[in-house]
Amino acid sequence: MSTILDLQNISTTVNAGTNEEKKILKNINLKLEDGDFVTLLGTNGAGKSTLLNIINGSLFPTTGKIFLKKRKKRNLTNDSEVKRAKYIAQVFQDPKMGTAPRMTVAENLLLATKRGHHRGLHLRGLDKHLDDFKKETSQLPNGLNERLNTFVGNLSGGQRQTLSFLMATIKRPDLLLLDEHTAALDPNTSRELLELTDKVVREEHLTCIMITHQLKDAIKYGNRTIILNSGEIVLDVKGKDKKKLTEEDILQYFAD
């Protein structure tokens, strides 16, 4: 197995030099192997979303380096979020993020197929993609295959989040980040999207980090579980050890 993501001594400090100075992440060292599906847990303020933001480039670490390797090793430490989007896809907690509400489902999917490409002035060629989009969405819950010409702003939260997930995975990113991507959904829709997530990540052999607050989901999904506490990794288990993990095991890391 080859290393896809390599975080070296990552620390993040906010409000440096003031009375409000706080260290969010503390010397994080983490390697993700090709095909790792990590469920990431931690209390509020533990640094989970900050970690994902450091990886996706919306935040920069105070110290440390970030390397991504798929076809070749790249130092992403100083790369912008836009540059990293060529390799890294993310689905956010809010269904309104990650999609364009005034464009149709098909138009959003067309944008997703062009992630990482130079976008000059040319005909968009939407019609020739419609059959493929119909096929892709027919395998998804929420009836998106019947809503290709619907403006995304008129979709339900579940439909919009399912679309966001398809947009993030349609070009098979080197790394997929899921920031509590089912938290805003009703239980049934959340379950459907989690099952879809598990199916796509496994079948496409994606490397993925999924933040969750649900202990049962952390146990059920993925091959690896990581727990953050006060900006540090306090548990990192995979394989057989992950399969033996119980809710009681996890809860001890949340005790005061």
Which residues, 6 or more positions from 57, have their beta carbon under 8 angstroms from its beta carbon?
Answer: 76, 79, 80, 81, 82, 83, 84, 85, 88
Q: pTM of the prediction?
A: 0.91
Q: Which two tokens stand for residue 51?
A: 């970690």
All domains in the chain, ordered by first residue: 38-57+81-117+126-251 (3.40.50.300)
Side by side, the strands of the sheet bearing 73-75 are: 22-33, 3-14, 63-69, 73-75
| 132-148 pLDDT per residue, tens | 888 888 878 778 888 99
Closest CA relative to residue 182, chosen from 143, 214, 139: 214
| 47-85 pLDDT per residue, tens | 999 999 999 999 999 999 999 987 788 999 999 998 999
User: What average pLDDT does the structure give for the chain?
Assistant: 89
C-beta separation of 102 from 52 below 8 A: no
Q: How far is CA 75 from CA 45, 72, 85, 208, in A?
A: 27, 10, 14, 19
C-beta separation of 10 from 25 below 8 A: yes
| 135-183 pLDDT per residue, tens | 888 878 778 888 999 999 999 888 999 999 999 998 899 999 999 999 8
Would you place residue 1 in the very low, low, confident or very high pLDDT band (cuts 50, 70, 90)? Answer: low
Written as one string, the DSSP assignment of 21-53 is -EEEEEEEEEEEETT-EEEEEE-TTSSHHHHHH
158 vs 9, which has greater pLDDT? 9
Closest CA relative to residue 193, chosen from 175, 180, 207: 180
